[in-house]
Amino acid sequence: MGTLRVVLKRLLAALPNLAGVVVITFLLTRALPGDPAAYFAGGAATQEAIDQVRRQLGLDRTLPEQFLLYVGGLLKGDFGLSITTGQPVLQELLSRLPASIEMVLLALALSCAVALPLGVMAASRPGSWIDQLCRVVTTAGVSLPTFFTGLLLSYVFYFLLGWAPAPLGRLDPVFSPPPQVTGLYLVDALLVGDLALWWASLKQLILPVVTMALFVLAPIARMTRASMLQVLSSDFVRTARASGLSTTTVRVRYALRNALLPVVTTLGMVFGFMLGSSVIIEKVFGWPGVGSYAIDALTASDYAPVQGFVLAMGVLFVLLNLLVDVLYTLIDPRISLEH
């Protein structure tokens, strides 16, 4: 009960931050160039028709009135209506968010599977070839833009070699999406026992996941190496080695566990960044996630989807920070959520 009370207190403390996100996003979207009423009315519309659309959208009201209407809708769970699709924003966000989360989670898992062992081995053998490999990988990861990496992988593995499917979304057109339970195609395909559909979904994920993993691998590997170097030079590690413990036991049980705190912090920041910046990869691979939805709305000066996207990202960041704090207590029980 104590932990639950602290979690609820953290969530309540985050409400002012979310309120600030709502205000800032509302003001920034109103400062965007372009007229959504003119876009919605069409290029051949007269000024009278544009004014009528503006009244229908409520854009003829003052900014305080528009803001109060927007906040009132949020309190009722209404994120507004997208003028480009005509659908409720909340419904579209919920339908597209699983696509982004599935790609981001797999990319994070892949990057951790490579970066953590690479960082540990590089720190264990400073100056060796594995340490030089770690430096090369981290440098290349942050130097190559994600759109370039995505286009290069598509060109090589789809166009030249034909190993990968066409980068045209979550699923090949010959397949139908699985019955929606979680919205994650890999999970939903397994739930219905359709292995062919699961494999088709996985093939579509490979290139975007590898593209994103290559980019986020660098900070994780760099932080793991730096943290492990610091811990391996500690007195308690030298004592463990002098006690005759095996090298694997010292590295994994003693050194890695104590080096994980800054790594977990980096993972939290990286995951949040991946969610917010997935728009580039989604555009390259035709991925129907929330990032591409937001950028399409932004180019059309469609206020409601942009505001909904930023608010959704704000909520996810709050939950992510809370998860990182909980992981701290699991890694090191001396750390309390109260602080």
In a domain, 16, yes or no: no
- Reported as a single tens digit per residue, the pLDDT across 187-246 is 888 988 888 889 988 988 899 998 888 888 888 888 888 888 887 777 777 777 777 777
Mean pLDDT of 57-69: 76
Q: What is the pLDDT of residue 145?
A: 77
In a domain, 328, yes or no: no
In a domain, 5, yes or no: no
Q: What is the pLDDT of residue 51?
A: 73
- Can you give the residue range of the structural domain that contains 189? 89-305
- Reported as a single tens digit per residue, the pLDDT across 137-193 is 777 777 777 778 888 888 888 888 888 888 888 888 888 888 888 888 888 889 888
| Confidence tier at 3 by pLDDT (50, 70, 90) | low
Predicted TM-score (pTM) of the model is 0.78
The domain that holds 171 is classified in CATH as: 1.10.3720.10
In a domain, 27, yes or no: no
Question: Is pLDDT larger for residue 48 or for residue 225?
Answer: 225
| Confidence tier at 330 by pLDDT (50, 70, 90) | low
3-class DSSP string for the chain: CHHHHHHHHHHHHCHHHHHHHHHHHHHHHHCCCCCHHHHHHCCCCCHHHHHHHHHHHCCCCCHHHHHHHHHHHHHCCCCCECCCCCCEHHHHHHHHHHHHHHHHHHHHHHHHHHHHHHHHHHHHCCCCHHHHHHHHHHHHHHHCCHHHHHHHHHHHHHHHCCCCCCCCCCCCCCCCCCCCCCCCHHHHHHHCCCHHHHHHHHHHHHHHHHHHHHHHHHHHHHHHHHHHHHHHCCHHHHHHHHCCCCHHHHHHHHHHHHHHHHHHHHHHHHHHHHHHHCHHHHHHCCCCCHHHHHHHHHHCCCHHHHHHHHHHHHHHHHHHHHHHHHHHHHHCCCCCCCC
Ranges 16-25, 55-64, 281-290: which has the least confidence:
55-64
Q: How many domains does the chain have?
A: 1
In a domain, 331, yes or no: no
In a domain, 13, yes or no: no
Q: What is the pLDDT of residue 79?
A: 79
pLDDT at 338 over 60: no
pLDDT at 277 over 60: yes
